[in-house]
């Protein structure tokens, strides 16, 4: 066993030779919040109607045993996962995860009181919170349209839901002293070729004008709008496309949410950050892993994940890019999904913080592209793993494969017996 001190000594020497301060890199990663999606724990079911079907063109596949079936189980599972993930964390809630104590609350009537127990819980667990209005898995979204619905009654219902979500998110921020991001994603779209795209987009535009008609305090709530390319059963036209939301975010001064699974397969979100940020105040990320489509696989430590973290660091965008995870895999242990994906996000932040950005950017400015490429390649075999181990230890989180043994134990003791 190599001691952490020894690992740090080696890493400090290796990175130090490039002018990189390992301890400062750890601090930077540690101060960047990562928002973890509550919906990985229960296959996006929520507690509103536990037997309800997941709709809206998204899907969690797999029947791995142990899905959290209620609020208590979800919290318990997340508390466990949380202990395996280093860094500064938030939990992202969807409206369907409300705590209504058994009562049925219509979505247009959700209010802070239905999330008060989450705030208490978040405080006790030193977590921030984010929010998401839920525009799917509901009878009034069954015809495929919510905020762009031509039925005025249905549209108004969803507009009210959207307004309430902003109040709840602001309440999170105020209570916890950490800004809450409130993310709007609607599934609205057509399976087959429409002949009046414009009409639906006009209605969606009008709905956002109504939802954003009142102010919330930016210190507590930041609204975000999420675009998408297509969903299952919504292959021909998504009303809230990328161009639509780029304009919407600009018009209303909102964050644009970039989900890594919501673009054509050869497009990358890493390239979009510095483009979007020329015109918008900020970005919310939904870090996911699309495999051939928007499949929402568990995030791995791949080139694009590193590139996203590097673009944030290289551009000096730590305050303007709000990192959230968005994947849901029901085919393997769900607590391991949380741990693997969130640990990888943390790894990427640390990896990016260890880059000698100033030196590389200088080479580029001098047009020495040969050296730029040579350094970028050699950096890949630096002793990054040693810094990662030290980072985990700093947060009293298991290193190496130890975390997996803990998940297996929890599985045997707690989740395996769930029906």
Q: Which residues are catalytic?
A: 185, 226, 228, 259, 262, 286, 294, 296, 326
Which of the listed partners (Zn ion, ligand RNT, none) does 39 bind, with a CB threshold of 5 to 8 Å by partner kind?
Answer: ligand RNT
- Give residues 283-322 in contact with Zn ion (rule: CB under 5 A): 286
Q: Which residue has the tokens 């900020």?
A: 282
Near ligand RNT by CB under 6 A: residue from 201, 228, 306, 334: 228
**Beta bridge partner(s), residue 286:** 259, 324
Q: How far is CA 273 from CA 48, 276, 387, in A?
A: 35, 5, 27
Residue of closest CB approach to Zn ion: 286
Site string for Zn ion, 344-383 (x = CB under 5 A): ----------------------------------------
CA quadruple 254, 259, 265, 271: dihedral sign: positive
Number of residues that bind ligand RNT (CB under 6 A): 11
Q: Which residue has the tokens 């990192």?
A: 323
Interacting residues of 377 by C-beta distance below 8 A, sequence separation 6+: none
Contact between 326 and Zn ion (CB under 5 A)?
Answer: yes
Which of the listed partners (ligand RNT, Zn ion, none) does 77 bind, with a CB threshold of 5 to 8 Å by partner kind?
Answer: none
- Give residues 178-207 in contact with ligand RNT (rule: CB under 6 A): 185
Q: How far is CA 331 from CA 40, 41, 59, 338, 361, in A?
A: 11, 12, 12, 13, 42
DSSP 61: -
- CA-derived radius of gyration, the chain: 22
Near Zn ion by CB under 5 A: residue from 43, 130, 259, 294: 259
Which region, left, alpha or beta, applies to residue 351 given φ > 0 means left and ψ of -120 to 50 means alpha? alpha
Contact between 230 and ligand RNT (CB under 6 A)?
Answer: no
Which of the listed partners (Zn ion, ligand RNT, none) does 42 bind, with a CB threshold of 5 to 8 Å by partner kind?
Answer: none
CA 243, CA 261: separation in Å to the nearest integer? 16
Q: CB count, 10 Å around CB of 190?
A: 19
Site string for ligand RNT, 57-96 (x = CB under 6 A): -x--------------------------------------
Near ligand RNT by CB under 6 A: residue from 32, 60, 132, 165: 132
Q: Which two tokens stand for residue 17?
A: 């030779």
Contact between 311 and ligand RNT (CB under 6 A)?
Answer: no
Contact between 234 and ligand RNT (CB under 6 A)?
Answer: no
Interacting residues of 253 by C-beta distance below 8 A, sequence separation 6+: 281
Near ligand RNT by CB under 6 A: residue from 39, 131, 190, 263: 39
Nearer to ligand RNT, 184 or 212 (CB): 184
Which of the listed partners (ligand RNT, Zn ion, none) does 228 bind, with a CB threshold of 5 to 8 Å by partner kind?
Answer: ligand RNT
Contact 92, 131 (CB under 8 A): yes
List interacting residues with ligand RNT (CB under 6 A).
39, 44, 58, 132, 185, 226, 228, 259, 286, 294, 326
């Amino acid at each position: 066993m190599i001691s952490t001190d020894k690992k740090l000594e080696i890493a400090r020497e290796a990175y130090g030779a490039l002018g990189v301060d390992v301890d400062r890199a750890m601090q930077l990663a540690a101060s960047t919040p990562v928002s973890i999606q509550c919906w990985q724990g229960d296959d996006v079911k929520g507690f509103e109607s536990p037997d309800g079907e997941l709709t809206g063109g998204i899907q969690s596949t797999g029947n791995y045993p142990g899905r959290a079936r209620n609020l208590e189980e979800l919290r318990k599972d997340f508390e466990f996962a949380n202990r395996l993930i280093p860094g500064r964390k938030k939990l992202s809630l969807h409206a369907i995860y409300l705590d209504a104590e058994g009562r049925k609350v219509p979505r247009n009537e959700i209010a802070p009181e239905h999330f008060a127990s989450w705030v208490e819980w978040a405080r006790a667990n030193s977590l921030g919170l984010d929010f998401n209005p839920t525009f799917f898995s509901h009878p009034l979204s069954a015809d495929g349209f919510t905020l762009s619905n031509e039925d005025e009654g249905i549209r108004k219902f969803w507009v009210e839901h959207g307004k309430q979500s902003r109040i709840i998110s602001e309440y999170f921020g105020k209570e916890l002293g950490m800004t809450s991001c409130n993310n709007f994603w609607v599934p609205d779209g057509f399976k087959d070729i429409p002949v009046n795209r414009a009409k639906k987009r006009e209605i969606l535009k009008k709905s956002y004008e109504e939802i954003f008609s009142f102010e919330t305090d930016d210190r507590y709530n930041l609204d975000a709008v999420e675009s998408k390319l297509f969903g299952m059963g919504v292959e021909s036209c998504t009303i809230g496309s990328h161009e639509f939301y780029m304009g919407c975010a600009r018009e209303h001064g909102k964050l644009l949410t970039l989900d890594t699974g919501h673009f054509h397969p050869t497009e990358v979100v890493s390239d979009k950050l510095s483009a979007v940020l020329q015109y918008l105040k900020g970005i919310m990320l939904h870090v996911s892993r699309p495999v051939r489509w928007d499949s929402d696989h568990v995030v791995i430590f791949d080139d694009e994940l590193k590139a996203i973290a590097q673009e944030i660091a290289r551009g000096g965008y730590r305050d303007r890019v709000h990192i959230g995870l968005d994947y849901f895999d029901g085919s393997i242990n769900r607590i391991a999904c949380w741990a693997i994906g969130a640990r990888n996000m943390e790894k990427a932040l640390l990896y990016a913080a260890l880059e000698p950005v100033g030196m590389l950017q200088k080479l580029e400015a001098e047009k020495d592209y040969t050296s730029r490429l040579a350094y970028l390649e050699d950096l890949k075999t630096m002793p990054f793993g040693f810094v990662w181990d030290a980072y985990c230890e700093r947060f009293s989180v298991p290193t190496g494969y130890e975390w997996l043994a803990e998940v297996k134990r929890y599985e045997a003791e707690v989740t395996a017996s769930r029906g």
